[in-house]
C-alpha cells in the first residue's frame, strides 16, 4: 500500500510554563496546526496571532524561549508531527 497520510485533525498538544502560562491564561491545550508542515516557531506565531488583536502581525519566537518536543529540547525550526507535545519554556530566572 501507499504512504499513510497524517491524521486529518493535525493536532498537537501545547504546554506553557511559568510566566508564559500566566500571560496566556492557560497551561495546556490541543492546537490544530494551520499547515501540514509546521515547526515550533510556526506554532508560536499561530498562538501569538490567536491571542493578538485582529489585524496584528505575527510575533516570532523570542530567542530566549526554549522549546521541548515530546519532552526533549529541540530547535524552533524542528518540524512538528500530529500528536506531538510541544512545550514552551521561558528563560530560567533566579539563583
pTM: 0.81
- Residue 1 within any structural domain of the chain: no
DSSP-based three-state secondary structure for 35: coil
| Distance separating alpha carbons of residues 47 and 1, to the nearest angstrom | 36
> Is position 94 within any domain?
no
Residue 59 lies in a domain: yes
Among the residue ranges 35-39, 45-49, 87-91, the one predicted with the least confidence is: 35-39
75 is in which domain, residue-wise?
A: 16-89
φ/ψ of residue 10, rounded to 5: 50, 45
> 85-89 and 11-16: which strand pairing?
parallel
In a domain, 72, yes or no: yes
Domains: count for the chain: 1
**Looking at 15-29, 30-44, 49-63, which range is the least confident one?**
49-63
Region for residue 27 given its phi and psi (left: phi exceeds 0; alpha: psi -120 to 50; beta: otherwise): alpha
Is a pLDDT exceeding 90 seen at residue 50?
Answer: no
30 belongs to a structural domain: yes
Q: What is the CATH number of the domain that holds 39?
A: 3.10.20.30
User: Is pLDDT of 54 > 90?
Assistant: no
Amino acid at each position: 500500500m501507499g504512504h499513510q497520510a497524517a491524521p486529518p485533525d493535525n493536532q498537537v498538544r501545547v504546554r506553557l510554563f511559568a510566566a508564559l502560562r500566566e500571560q496566556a491564561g492557560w497551561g495546556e491545550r490541543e492546537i490544530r496546526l494551520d499547515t501540514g508542515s509546521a515547526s515550533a516557531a510556526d506554532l508560536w506565531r499561530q498562538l501569538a496571532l490567536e491571542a493578538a488583536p485582529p489585524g496584528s502581525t505575527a510575533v516570532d519566537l523570542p530567542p530566549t524561549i526554549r522549546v521541548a518536543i515530546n519532552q526533549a529540547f529541540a530547535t524552533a525550526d524542528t518540524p512538528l508531527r500530529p500528536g506531538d507535545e510541544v512545550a514552551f519554556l521561558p528563560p530560567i530566572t533566579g539563583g
